[in-house]
């Protein structure tokens, strides 16, 4: 079961910053999850379209120029990173889950991936792109059929694994409250991976382990890794 650092090691460091990502890597995360919006054709890493919760800015990201956004404090002196900076940091160290938020992300992402492949030697197998917006995922699928894609859902949906399989997804990304054995078994029978968010407690980790999910998004990669290690030592 993979430990996926949710917005980096966001329980301890400012979420979606290079610091939180570097710390997650040092804590041995198997993967990093980040949230991405497009502003002026640049992909930036932030969870909310509104700036107040995670930065010293105000208003929405779309009201401002990229240069304004880039000089904001995102916590502990960190800046809002660009996706390019994250690709440079993570490349060759673990796999990356980019969650697409907002609008107009597909074209800039395709351009950035082409650049990352040629300039960094970045491989598509290092990447899993997810979104609640499944139309965007279909556009990506059409453009780059080999790209791994994950369909996010925050609710209970009947036959979700079958639906995701029909869309050509690699994985389903589900909220923990809607997880059950039937979904995991059906997804696996269809060849889909199952990733669950957000899993921060020891009893939740044990439950996900018993369900046999492929990975958990956690805000605390170090302690989740420790708890997982302990659970694996004991017979369940
Ligand atoms: O990708 C899993 C999870 O991050 C989706 O929800 O709101 O935390 O981006 P949210
Ligand atoms: Ca996310």
How confident is the model over 100-152, as pLDDT tens digits? 999 999 999 999 999 999 999 999 999 999 999 999 999 999 999 999 999 99
The whole-chain average pLDDT of the chain stands at 97
- CATH code of the domain made up of 2-233: 3.20.20.190
- Could you tell me if the CB of 15 is within 6 A of ligand 1? no
Q: Where are the domains of the chain?
A: 2-233
Which amino acid residue places its CA nearest to atom 3 of ligand 1? Answer: 197
Residue % of the chain over a pLDDT of 70: 99
Residue 235 has pLDDT above 70, yes or no: no
Global model pTM greater than 0.90: yes
Q: What does the pLDDT read at residue 231?
A: 87
Q: What stretches of 56-105 show up as alpha helix (H) in DSSP? A: 66-70, 83-90
- Could you tell me if the CB of 160 is within 6 A of ligand 1? no
Q: How far apart, in whole angstroms, are the C-alpha atoms of residue 86 and residue 140?
A: 20
Residue 236 has pLDDT above 50, yes or no: no
Best of 47, 97, 99 for a ligand 1 pocket test (most atoms within 8 Å of beta carbon): 99
Q: What's the pLDDT tens digit per position in 31-60?
A: 999 999 999 999 999 999 999 999 999 999
Q: What is the ipTM of this complex?
A: 0.99
Q: What is the mean pLDDT of residues 62-83?
A: 98
Q: Which ligand is nearest to the CA of 49?
A: 1
Neighbouring C-beta atoms of residue 67, cutoff 10 Å:
8
Q: What is the mean pLDDT of residues 215-226?
A: 97
């Amino acid at each position: 079961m993979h430990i996926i650092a949710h917005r980096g090691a966001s329980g301890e460091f400012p979420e979606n910053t290079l610091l939180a990502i570097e710390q997650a890597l040092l804590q041995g995360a198997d993967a990093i999850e980040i949230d991405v919006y497009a502003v002026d054709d640049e992909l930036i890493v932030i969870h909310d379209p509104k700036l107040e919760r995670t930065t010293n800015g105000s208003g929405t990201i779309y009201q401002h120029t990229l240069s304004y956004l880039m000089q904001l404090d995102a916590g502990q002196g960190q800046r809002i990173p660009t996706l390019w900076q994250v690709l440079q940091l993570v490349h060759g160290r673990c796999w990356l889950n980019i969650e697409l938020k907002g609008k107009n992300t597909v074209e800039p992402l395709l351009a950035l991936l082409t650049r990352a492949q040629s300039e960094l030697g970045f491989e598509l197998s290092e990447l899993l792109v997810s979104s609640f917006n499944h139309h965007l995922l279909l556009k990506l699928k059409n453009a780059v059929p080999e790209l791994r894609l994950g369909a996010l859902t925050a609710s209970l949906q009947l036959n979700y694994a079958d639906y995701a399989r029909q869309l050509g997804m690699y994985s389903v990304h589900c909220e923990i409250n809607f997880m059950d054995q039937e979904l995991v078994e059906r997804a696996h029978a269809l060849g889909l991976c199952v990733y669950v968010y957000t899993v921060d407690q020891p009893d939740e980790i044990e439950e996900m382990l018993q369900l046999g999910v492929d990975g958990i998004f956690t805000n605390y990669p170090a302690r989740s890794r420790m708890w997982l290690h302990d659970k694996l030592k004991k017979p369940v």
